[in-house]
Amino acid sequence: MIPIDRRALMTGALAVSGLAANAAFAQDLSIRPAGSAATGPDAALDMAAALAGGPPAIAAGIVTREGLEWSGVRGVRQAGGTDKATLDDRWHLGSNTKAMTAAVFARLVDQGRAKWAMPLSEAFPGAALDPAFADVTLDDLMRHKAGLTDAAMASPNVARADPRPVMEQRAAVVDGALSRPPAGTKGAFAYANINYVLVGAAIERISGKPWEEMMGSEIFQPLGLTTAGFGAPATDAKGGANVWGHRVAPDGTKIPMDPAGAADNPALYGPAATAHMTLADYATWIRAMIGGAPEGWLRPERIGVLTTPLPGDTYAMGWIARPESWAGDTVTIAHEGSNTLWHAIAVAAPAKGLGFIVLSNGGIQGRATAVPLIQRLIRERTAAS
């Protein structure tokens, strides 16, 4: 059993700042000047895949409101193997699941079954809430401003050993975390997975159904994400072999982790970080968030709430949101996630109807390849537009 750490799921808050960093890696992907034979997304992906110490496999895509404009994949499914990754493979999204959980709640708002700024006392009727949470809302949870820390949630190994149904486990987190004062400062941003586990529990209390089922009915099915699921993906979209996540040893050796084992965080953590799907399906999700959703799925104003931070903040609801020069100083949304065995990053400009995705299976270290790749994809694509 591998000790997948809850701290490893906290990389989501690094996405935007990371795009402005890693200058050395960015230089590696900009060896040839623009206009040379080595430009374009396929060339960028080739160069990223060739970087020393990179993940065994890496996939990337460029998304518009019309769909997946370009996609590619390089590498092998398992380090040391020869089975090449393909566009049919499914990838673990880590903390990028949070934006989907927030969207499930927005769907409940659309349906009149929930409301924005819903007090915790209303979301969890009958729960013994500490008085400190009297003015805290589900919006505060989705914005990581409730003062909660992950110390109030069961560790991965304890959660895996819990024999109770996962809905009961999440309900227990409500009782345990909210019955005593928050360890952090209310109103101050503090990224913690427990916030979204509690949002998942609220969705379950409101709907009477497991969060996993609500993800299916409110996100996967209406958007046509047929390859979506939870936990470490075991098969590709066609039922065959799939890429495996990798544990990275202290000496840098990448060790493939069988999805049949403890290759992901426990189901308890689902609303914060356990979704998986193919690159194409994840692109469909990004497309929905930049104005390309099917008519009637979610009102544009609801998407606006999900992607708009409070004044002075940069974190919205599952998205980091702030203006970027490459998007003409319009607001961009971004997030990244990892369970230590995989890495995912997405960046998009809703006003421009443009998004970028990089997914890999080399652990959180995959970001050292993903960030410069997504930088170059953004730079070249926006320079051409």
Structure confidence at residue 26 as a pLDDT band (50, 70, 90): very low
- Under DSSP, is residue 193 helix (H, G, I), strand (E, B) or coil? helix
Give the pLDDT of residue 364. 87
Domains plus CATH for the chain? 8-96+229-384 (3.40.710.10), 100-212 (3.40.710.10)
Q: How large is the average pLDDT for residues 102-124?
A: 98
Rounded to whole angstroms, what are the CA distances from 90 to 49, 61, 73, 180, 270? 18, 14, 12, 40, 17
pTM of the model: 0.93
Mean pLDDT, the chain, rounded, equals 91
Rounded to whole angstroms, what are the CA distances from 96 to 9, 25, 75? 10, 23, 23
Give the pLDDT of residue 34. 45
Give the pLDDT of residue 146. 97
Q: Is the pLDDT confidence value at 95 over 70?
A: yes
The per-residue pLDDT for range 47-92, each reduced to its tens digit, is: 999 998 999 999 999 999 999 999 999 999 999 999 999 999 999 9
Strands (E), the chain: 57-64, 67-75, 90-92, 229-230, 245-248, 254-257, 275-278, 320-323, 331-337, 343-349, 354-360
Give the pLDDT of residue 365. 84
The per-residue pLDDT for range 275-302, each reduced to its tens digit, is: 999 999 999 999 999 999 999 999 999 9
The per-residue pLDDT for range 214-244, each reduced to its tens digit, is: 999 999 999 999 999 999 999 999 999 999 9
- Residue 69 or residue 7, greater confidence: 69
Give the pLDDT of residue 384. 62
The per-residue pLDDT for range 313-335, each reduced to its tens digit, is: 999 999 999 999 999 999 999 99
Give the pLDDT of residue 37. 54
Q: Is the pLDDT confidence value at 150 over 50?
A: yes
Q: How large is the average pLDDT for residues 99-106?
A: 98
Structure-token pair, residue 266: 């426990």
Distance CA 5, CA 9 (A): 8
